[in-house]
Amino acid sequence: MTDLTDPKWMYAKAIAFLLIGILTFVLLLLPQGLWARMGLQLLMIWAFARAYYFAFYVIEHYVDSTYRFSGLLHFVRYAIRGRVGE
């Protein structure tokens, strides 16, 4: 298997991490047992950490080496402006 190099697929992967994090957060609002709750919390932390890593490392080192940003809102503006995949 080769490394992921297409920026569009990298963004798709980051969106998948965000969706996993959001879904597990919503599932944590429902009643469940201790082990299920712990598993969901671990999954949520992992997914959001991977999305955060994408925003601050993958973009700068693999997608757009000329771009620097200072926070998540700055990254969101960057992504919305249409520089995705360019």
Q: Are 18 and 47 in contact (CB under 8 A)?
A: yes
Give the separation between CA 41 and CA 25, rounded to whole angstroms.
8
pTM of the complete model:
0.77
pLDDT at 56: 83
| pLDDT, position 80 | 84
Distant-in-sequence, close-in-space partners of 29: CB < 8 Å, separation ≥ 6? none
In this structure, what token pair is assigned to residue 54?
């994408």
> Pick from 20, 10, 82: which is nearest to 45 by CA?
20
Q: Over its length of 86 residues, how does the chain's per-residue pLDDT go in tens digits?
A: 678 888 888 889 999 999 999 999 999 999 999 999 999 999 999 999 999 998 888 888 888 888 777 888 888 888 888 655 44
